[in-house]
Structure 1
Amino acid sequence: MPSSVMPTSTRSGGYPSPAAVSAVGLHKSFGDKTVLGGIDLHIPAGSVFALLGPNGAGKTTAVKILSTLITADGGQAQVAGHNIAADPQAVRAAIGVTGQFSAVDGLITGEENMLLMADLHHLSRSEGRRTAARLLERFDLTEAAKKPASTYSGGMKRRLDIAMTLVGDPRIIFLDEPTTGLDPRSRHTMWQIIRELVADGVTVFLTTQYLDEADELADRIAVLNDGRIAAEGTAQELKRLVPGGHVRLRFTDPAVYRAAATALPGAAGDDEALTLQVPSNGSQRDLRSVLDRLDSAGVEADELTVHTPDLDDVFFALTGPANIPNQSKESVR
């Protein structure tokens, strides 16, 4: 199985442009433990990029380096066109960061949290109040604005956290596991917020352990394992890395079932259930080939379903003990 799916080339150099975030050979160790072992990233502006990986894979470390909270031991990176080592202040002026743990001060109101953030961004008093009011309304927090943030639900605190991040009008936002601990309704609300941000031209760098979240939101996904990028691509490209896709055919007539098995010699049969399982990558061409062979044999299935691997399968295949992290990178064209 290929260990990496790289972007299709659109310009000389192999990557689309412009990049909101790019990194080459990013390396970080803590003592004798290598957390990032030389990762490369290229994230186009106005897109959602999801970084997946198990606990301890290095996701938060990557975010901290790219947001200038800590320095890398090696490699180079640019964020919003600025070198993170040479011009960290310019990087900080262009980004917003929402960490795993809420930055909300529970002892003051939601509005006061917003105004405090406005002060930190050196907005005038009137501009700060206008910005706070606009964002509180956008995130459906106007009614709760005068209440202590400690009384907010988890979803409300997360929305306030992102509203505070947007005070400085960042064009790149790092969201480090933003929906951890939220109920399903709050998670879906957060997803909608992220979609709206991208629709406004914001680039979102998302780390998450929820594979459905990455599948739902991300334009591109990278799987980080043991400090290295094990695979990168669109959700569909990553799913094609994992074997196990198949077309399942069910029959009610044993004679028709036997005729189908003859027409599809590579299929795995279940004589009791009268089902055939034909290996498939889930593509239209693959499915048409199966149907054409059945038609040629004059056979019609009573039920047909297509099963393709999901991101859970990809995640376990790439981060489990059976994966081979040192295989060469390959491209999907």
Structure 2
Amino acid sequence: MSQSVLPVFGLTEKKVKLEAFGSGLINSTWKVTTTSDEYILQRLNHLVFSEPEDIAYNISLIATYLKQYYPDYSFAAPITAEDGASLVYLENEGFFRMFPFVKGSYAKEVVETATEAYEAAVQFGRFTHLLSGLDATKLKITIPSFHDLSLRYRQFMLALENGNAERIIEADALIKKVMDNRAIAEQYQQIKTNPDCKLRVTHHDTKISNVLFNKDGNGLCVIDLDTVMPGHFISDVGDMMRTYLSPVSEEESDFSKIEIRASIFEAIVQGYYSEMKADLTETEKQLFFYAGKFMIYMQAIRFLTDYLNDDVYYGARYEKHNFIRASNQLVLLEKLIAKENELVPLINRILSTNE
């Protein structure tokens, strides 16, 4: 990458160190170190985010709101270029933005303890709670229908009609599991039209690496706001459950390693609800367990649909990559549902003790 973007953000020092940073799969990220300070530089992937200006608009709107109403909240607002813009386009290189590097902070890739899950859930809950006074419909849609399970189910059904015939036969057992759990998609359709299920400022990508921690292991703030859009709370809670509950990710092919850690589940609900208890409606409070099913099921459908369509969306690092990912998520779903009688009482206890 050319360093020609740096002067646009006011960095004119000759001795500047750039190094690849983080493990994100969508945007390219670098840590920029000068003699006096540190920054995070990102190039947005315009193939995923077709309207990068919409992301800049959303972040600016959120930053302005938080600065006005919650000036003490730790928010890593973007650094503006010399022309006042927070997003810069360079010919043949793309769209860039820069943030201050939060000193003394670190991010994690895997949830190891219930405390980490709790701290992350608090941060995502606090983010949505503090922005409850901001009209979510003012936000731009950066990825249309990102968490629309109804759409994902329709795409799956189309793949059954038009996909790779050999793969459809091969995936017969997985297809049956998806069909057997279609009530999850049917319930989402009801949620979309239920006025008690509020549209809120929702992060939509609540993996643990999108939370910054301090040296004492306490959560500082959430980062990576590219997917912040109007949404339902089940997206954020569900994505935490999908990515925190099991000690292994969707890439794991040894399904015996997949498990549901009850202590992590409890920590997610406890942490999120501690911030959002005054915001959630009674209807929404009954959807915590569903949130996990919703996100796991949707991701299983997306992986399986892509496999049936010859890996055109996610791509594949090996022949049956998306088949394995879909299988993994369906096992995770089965194991979550199997623990419903254990986990729902945990939810009810948290709700009742935090009235």
Category of TM-score, reference length = shorter chain: under 0.3
TM-score with structure 2 setting the length:
0.22
TM-score with structure 1 setting the length:
0.23
Which structure carries more strand by proportion? 1
